[in-house]
Amino acid sequence: MPSSELPTFPTSIGTSDLTSINLLGQDLAHDLMGQVSFGELAFWLVAQRRPTPGQLRVFEAVLVALADHGFTPTAIAARLTYLSAPDSLQGAVAAGLLGGGSRFLGVTEDCARFLADALAGRSEQPTDDAGWDELAIQVVSQARAARRIIPGLGHPVHKSGDPRTPALIALADQEGVRGPHLRLFQAIGRVHPEILGRSLPLNGAGVCGAALADLDLPVEMLRGFALLARTAGVLGHIAEEQRQPVGMDIYLTIDRNAKYRPPAPATSHVHANGTTRTSHDGGTS
């Protein structure tokens, strides 16, 4: 096929030729290396714009906040995969990241989506805390009526308060980037006890999602930023597993203490439509 008939593939990310590498319209070697931090580059690649200094400071604080949270399932999965396949570092990293879902890490995206949906279609936003509280009462009441969990409300460990939450809100305030998502989430934190009948902390990962949304980053990409941050933590766990392994202890503790028990007897349920469904005691099928 003549070269004139070859298709083109437009991209705003990067290209390369025999002597140069172009990234985001810049010469990688001369304009970016040593001039731009990795955090700024990640923001720039996704948003297709350079962050302001204040936006960058908050963005990189979010990456730090999400890098590690101890022996979470992501860390354990990475360590055990490395134990099983020490020849596959990429497998261990992938195993750690694949667990980033609705219970761990995914709350960053889920909270931002929840807040964005609550703010969508409003021609005007509140101008003071009282107005945000009024909006939050509507949002929490609607979620309660729909039996919907509010993502980012509550934490399995930090039940009396997530230490990341006040630090990140204060930083966003200092940099002038505390926007409607963070303000609404803060208001939810203030009003929900009276509606739900209990007081729950604002999860730091949820606050991270609200902060990223206030930076005008695409909501559908926010879990990716959480995974980007957690990659650093997973690498740290794998490196520590090389120096000071605990994976074998985790495996042996579970395997040597596994006790067989016969399956629960099956029971049959006749539904209103006349069909029969079999399940086991202790759960629905």
pLDDT at position 283, please? Answer: 37
CA atoms within 13 A on the CB side of 84: 14
Show the tokens assigned to 87: 């020849």
- Do residues 191 and 135 lie in contact, with contact meaning Cβ atoms separated by under 8 Å? no
pLDDT at position 111, please? Answer: 96
Residues of the chain with pLDDT under 70: 1-3, 268-285
CATH 2.40.128.110 correct for 52-245:
no
pTM of structure = 0.88
pLDDT at position 282, please? Answer: 39
pLDDT at position 133, please? Answer: 97
What are the DSSP E strand ranges found in the chain? 14-16, 21-23, 26-27, 266-270, 276-280
DSSP of 16-47: E-SS-EEETTEEIIIIITTTS-HHHHHHHHHH
pLDDT at position 104, please? Answer: 86
pLDDT at position 169, please? Answer: 98
CA distance 217 to 221: 8
Instruction: Give the other-Cβ count within 10 Å of 14's Cβ.
Output: 13
pLDDT at position 274, please? Answer: 57
pLDDT at position 280, please? Answer: 41
Q: Domain limits of the chain?
A: 52-245
What are the DSSP E strand ranges found in 29-115? none
